[in-house]
A and B are shown apart, each in its own frame.
Chain A
Amino acid sequence: MSDARLLEVERINTYYGKSHILHDVSLHVEQGEIVTLLGLNGAGKTTTLRSILGLTPPRTGTVKLNGRELRGLAPHAVARLGVGYVPEGRRMFKNLSVLENLQLAERGTVGDGWTIGRVYDRFPKLKELAGRKSGRLSGGEQEMLAIGRALVGNPKLILVDEPSQGLAPIIVIELYKTLEELRRQGASILLVEQNALLALKVSQRAYVIDDGHIVHTGAADELAHDQPRIRGLMGLREDEDIPA
């Protein structure tokens, strides 16, 4: 068990009703890595995360966390085994306060895990806003809260979906600094992004998904320097910009 990978997704096939969305998707995340899954809208990025979490269970294939099979478990069981989730659009409980959002996710751990107090130390702004309804926070504040909410569950692996969506560029840069810092402190992150160049900067490895197939795997910095290749892999024409 100890030499099993943190996350090992093997040949999963996921469907929405009759439409076949993910085709034999395989990927893995090692302890202490940020791994990016790149792809265009509708390529299957979010579905991959939902498959891991059990929100949209794959029909075939395996999803293992430290060697333990997750496929077939209910989402709350997957979460309790150590998978944190920072969803696309942040999905605040918007009528609940910042503190209540954190309390809903808090799960105690032995030793020096994340507590609401530690999240407040890391994001002092959240402490200031503790009593405010989360629906009334700015986009950047909500993203911080979404990350804090994942952290207080003390996950082994955090799934982060399109964190830069709808945020001002300066906030996005701060956000990525936060992700990098969390990794240095030992967090492992599977990141889904359209903002390819920025995501590759903080990642060690990258996958590219297109139309439900993994079409590229490799080191993040190689891919970051090969922009024509990113265009090709993501199905963009020469004259199209890489989404950033």
Chain B
Amino acid sequence: MIEHLAPEIVNGIVLGAFYAIIAIGLSLIMNLTGTINLAHGSFMTLAGYLAFTLMSRGSNFWFALAASAICTAIIGLVVERLLISPLYKRVPLYSLLLTFGLSLVFEEVFRLIWGPSTVPFSAPPELSGATQIGDVFLPTYRLFIMVALVVVMVALLVFLYRTRLGLRLRGAVQDAEMLAALGTNTQLLYMTNFGLGILLAAIAGVLAAGLLGLGPTMGNDLLMPAFITVVIGGMGSLAGSIVGGLLVGLAISITTLYLPAASEVIMYVLMAVVLLIRPRGLFGEEGIFG
């Protein structure tokens, strides 16, 4: 029993960690500027392809991970300044439409450059194979992803709660205009915040590419569960994103084991149940958009 269940639980946690990281990036961007970034998945895919291209030219995995994440974040900053920031003063529908359009454009560009089917993206040799823990063999790459995503989350928490810039971000979420009146350049803050969300997406994108396979829709496929994670966890809550992500990931993987036909629908059921009991999500605050 346990030898069947354990790998699925690890699977669920790994998937959940991806959802959590993506959800945190979405939340950061949504909380500060009201932008619902439907292009978030595209940035993940972009980072995966950039890493793939670097590796196919001889770079090792680690350099490709770092370089593609940084490049993707920079592209994110440019997109934010040129396209998204002019819409901050308008209702969120405008940026929603814009980022939806962007995701379509990105997807077609991926097809043009890297082709319509998945490209071979393999985990580095030092992370392939399996690791034995007790009686159970678990894929080393999955274990690595778990550790890596935890490290990223801890780094993010340290940034938000232990640095001046993090403090400004937390203040701006509550009252950006007041923060500006106290001398903070909020436009710069919006930009930094967007870049940070994209950096998280990019790291997750490269890691996911080695696990899920890299195709033009890889990131977008992860985006819907990530949005559900945000809703389940509660808008604006980092803890909510982490718990929500793990719940969604575990629910999907365990359902895959026992009732494969329901694995696609289980996250919607979970969301409906959570919202019936607690409309603002597990950790959400009331009236975050109020």
Residues of A within 8 A of B (CB): 53, 55, 74-76, 79-80, 85, 87, 91, 93-96, 100, 103-105, 107, 149, 153
Are B183's CB and A76's CB within 8 A? Answer: yes
For B185, give its contact among A76, A107, A149 (CB under 8 Å): A76
Are B181's CB and A79's CB within 8 A? Answer: yes
Q: How far is the CA of A56 from the CA of B112 in the complex (A)?
A: 46
Give the chain A neighbours of B168 by CB distance below 8 A: 104
For B183, give its contact among A87, A94, A95, A105 (CB under 8 Å): A105
Q: Closest chain A residue to B170 by CB distance?
A: A96
A79-B175 contact in complex given A96-B167, A103-B164, C-beta closer than 8 Å: no
Sort chain B's interface into a size bin.
Answer: 10 to 19
Q: How far is the CA of A171 from the CA of B170 in the complex (A)?
A: 30
Give the chain B neighbours of A95 by CB distance below 8 A: 170, 174
17 further A-B contacts with Cβ under 8 Å, apart from A74-B180, A95-B170, are A55-B177, A75-B181, A76-B183, A76-B184, A91-B175, A93-B170, A93-B174, A95-B174, A96-B171, A100-B171, A103-B164, A104-B167, A104-B179, A104-B184, A107-B183, A149-B182, A153-B182
Give the chain B neighbours of A104 by CB distance below 8 A: 167-168, 171, 179, 182, 184
Task: Give B148-195 interface residues, CB cut-off 8 Å to A.
Answer: 164, 167-168, 170-171, 174-175, 177-187
Give the chain B neighbours of A53 by CB distance below 8 A: 181
Q: How far is the CA of A223 from the CA of B140 in the complex (A)?
A: 81
Q: How far is the CA of A80 from the CA of B188 in the complex (A)?
A: 15
Give the chain B neighbours of A96 by CB distance below 8 A: 167, 170-171, 174
Q: Closest chain A residue to B173 by CB distance?
A: A95
Q: Closest chain A residue to B183 by CB distance?
A: A79
Q: How far is the CA of A95 from the CA of B286 in the complex (A)?
A: 13
Are B178's CB and A91's CB within 8 A? Answer: yes
Give the chain B neighbours of A153 by CB distance below 8 A: 182-183
Give the chain A neighbours of B186 by CB distance below 8 A: 76
Give the chain B neighbours of A76 by CB distance below 8 A: 180-186
Q: Closest chain A residue to B285 by CB distance?
A: A95
Q: Closest chain A residue to B175 by CB distance?
A: A91
- Shortest beta-carbon distance, A77 to chain B, in Å? 8
Are A80's CB and B183's CB within 8 A? Answer: yes
